[in-house]
Chain A
Amino acid sequence: MKNFRQIFKEAENTITGIAAAPGIVIAKVYLFTKEKLEINDGDITNIEEAKSNLTEALAKSKKELNKVFAIAKEKMEGKRAAIFEAQMMILDDPILLENINSRIEKEKKQPEYIVNDEISKYQSLMAHAHETYMNDRANDIEDIKNRIIRNLQKKRWVSKIKNDMIVVSDSLTPADTILLSRCNVKGFVTDHGGLTSHAAIISRSLDIPAVVGTHNATKHIQDGDIVIIDGFHGYVLVNPNEEQIDFFNAKIEKLIGLQKSLEELKDQPAKTIDGKEIQLMANVDVTGEIDLVVTNDAKGIGLYRTEQIIEELGEIPSEDEQVKIYSNLSTRIYPKPLVIRAFDIGGDKFKFLDFTEPNPFLGLRGIRLLLENQKMFRNQIRAVLKASINRNIQFMLPMISTVWEIKHSITLINECKNELKHEKTNFDKDIKIGIMIEVPSAALLTFELASLVDFISIGTNDLIQYLMAVDRGNDLVSDLYQEFHPAVVRTISHIVKEAKKAKKPVSLCGEMAADTLAIPLLVGLGLSNLSISPTTIPYAKRIIRSISYEKAKALSEDCYASATVGEVTEKLEKFFKDNSITRTRNII
């Protein structure tokens, strides 16, 4: 039988991208695009009919938006997004509707022409504004305009797609990804985005194969095409021939076999052959993932990204809403630990402010934003404390770079504790407080910072980005986002040593540990607690169970002394070969 290399060498129907979520799948394509509406500006004779068509279209649009809410609420257990509410209100806007109706009467033109013209006036008013956030708002208005016009044209609304399709799209928002995953989507292919884009992270957490950053998939793939996604290597084959289909069907069968053998590992500890046990915890983005956490036998939730709640709701959840979500998670995972990270917003995470900072990644984000918005921060602290009665919750602060930020946060936490005491509300008085180390300056000061808290966690995504001075979302330089750069190895090594000196537990969370190639290195650097996507836990466990800690330590020292990313990668690959460990992507 041919191997991958031969298959791809001969193939003329390949699209390459970034392997964002593992798995192989063969299925039909749903091309997810926004179609451009054609506006009919013809004259009308029956005004009453036109007006009743408009009323009907508005009612239909309202019904659609209501359905969006229903889905959002079900997925997100909370209030509807302000943005949807504003869109709903536009459908009832007395001034707008009066203008549209009276123009239909006077001008005797198609309602879709009048609707388009009237709403576009507002959009052009916005286009003249200098405030950058008006762009987003103009997009919201564009959305509602298109919705009304589509309903006037009696065109179908694509709220649901056929089940079992592969979604191919220019790019996907987290909301798209979650909404579409309800239709049992088999895979995702996008033109844009990288390994750490939200679409990629969510695909991994929902266990859906994905290839992202293909640049031109939407140009080469048509709606209804059959494609093969190889989420291990980052390949997409368009309308495969019989040989390719047979080849990948055989791989899929092998994969099922591998998954079975991984399942058998479920009750086995993640222990190296010389007896060092590694705690494999799960990163959780959406509450729906908790089932995956349990089935994959995570030792707890090492990172719960609370900003995801804001993203789902479209607004900051209230204290009560947060208490509900955190308590629910804490109970489900009990007695295992749940590490709740305070809202890490700013940068690419969520546009909290309606204006754009010139340099958001170097701007008001993480703890800086929390300390600037104390009402929101206090609400979250109180919610976390109230939910902590099971005594398995830990609270973690993001983007720490100074001693002051820690001291200030702890003061706030203590104030909230006192409030709750006065209110006679129960909470875990010994709740553990930790910090993320993800800024180079904090890494250098690990000893001093760790001494002030109960635990630290290394956030590799941001740490690498700040260390390498590379915006991981910028296609022009994303090649320089090198997780195996010797500077990264040395920094992690420094953090682990300093944390141990301060006698504080240290863990690592971030997408770096999702790459099985990194596992021996991280174990060798002395990390014994890794938090990764729940679905990657069995793969990581398999690697850990086949390496020796002593050898991994020697490997990490070797990598530490390297000068280039090439040398480090070469050493890691050689380690796998020398110890006859096959990487998952090479087994299948």
Chain B
Amino acid sequence: MIEQTVKIINKAGLHTRPAATIVKLAAKYKCDFYIAKDGLNINAKSIIGVMTLAAEMGSELILTFNGADEKEAAAEITDYFNRGFDEL
């Protein structure tokens, strides 16, 4: 299992477009992928789940990956967060 803390660094926060992209990226991998924030743990393969996360600029999220291809999934998805969802 891989656990990583990421910070939202783009102005608009985790809005609908990045939410959709994250779910699409997650769908490429077999491993489980959860996002936790404020005591809420969301299955990130669910778009409606990810959409319930209110994450403005500056908020911190914990990503957990668990499964065979967890390494690759963690690398690609963490990178997407660190690029500020390509909105910097």
Contact = CB atoms under 8 A, between A and B. Distances in A.
Interface string B1-45: 000000000011101110110011000000000000000100101
From B11, B20, B49, B54, residue with most partner A Cβ within 10 Å: B54
Nearest to A95: B46
A125 B51 CA distance: 10
Given A129-B52, A140-B16, 13 more contacts: A86-B16, A90-B48, A95-B48, A96-B46, A125-B52, A126-B51, A126-B52, A131-B54, A133-B13, A133-B54, A141-B48, A141-B51, A375-B88
Contacts of B15: 133, 354
Contacts of B19: 86
Nearest to A82: B17
Contacts of A94: 45-46
A324 B17 CA distance: 23
B29 to A, nearest CB: 13
A108 to B, nearest CB: 24
B56 A131 contact: yes
A315 interface: yes
B47 interface: yes
Nearest to B20: A86
A408 interface: no
A79 B76 CA distance: 25
Interface size range of chain B in the complex: 20 to 34
Given A90-B48, A94-B46, A375-B88, A82 B16 contact: yes
Contacts of A131: 13, 54, 56
A353 B11 CA distance: 7
A373 B20 CA distance: 22
A83 B51 CA distance: 11
Interface residues of A, number: 30
A263 interface: no
Given A93-B46, A95-B45, A95-B49, A130 B54 contact: yes
B54 A96 contact: no
Interface string A81-102: 0110110011001111000000
A134 interface: yes
A122 B51 contact: yes
Contact of A122 (B17, B52, B88): B52
Given A353-B11, A353-B12, A86 B40 contact: no
A137 B17 contact: no
From A82, A119, A315, residue with most partner B Cβ within 10 Å: A82
Contacts of B24: 89
B20 A95 contact: no
A131 to B, nearest CB: 4
A355 interface: yes
A62 to B, nearest CB: 14
Given A355-B13, A375-B88, A86 B47 contact: yes
Contact of A95 (B13, B16, B40, B43): B43
Contacts of A134: 54
Nearest to A129: B54
Given A95-B43, A125-B40, A129-B54, A137 B16 contact: yes
B48 A96 contact: yes
B54 A126 contact: yes
Contacts of B51: 86, 122, 126, 137, 140-141
Nearest to A119: B48
B45 A85 contact: no
Contacts of B46: 93-96
A89 B56 contact: no
Contacts of A375: 88
Nearest to A375: B88
Interface in A111-160: 119, 122, 125-126, 129-131, 133-134, 137, 140-141
A119 B51 CA distance: 12
A423 B84 CA distance: 28
A373 B11 CA distance: 10
Nearest to B59: A131
Nearest 6 pairs of A and B residues by beta carbon: A95-B46, A129-B54, A82-B17, A131-B54, A354-B15, A89-B47
A373 B23 CA distance: 26
A85 B51 CA distance: 13
Contact of B48 (A93, A353, A373): A93
B48 A354 contact: no
A349 to B, nearest CB: 16
Nearest to B55: A131
Interface string A288-331: 00000000000000000000000000010000000000000000
A85 B21 CA distance: 10
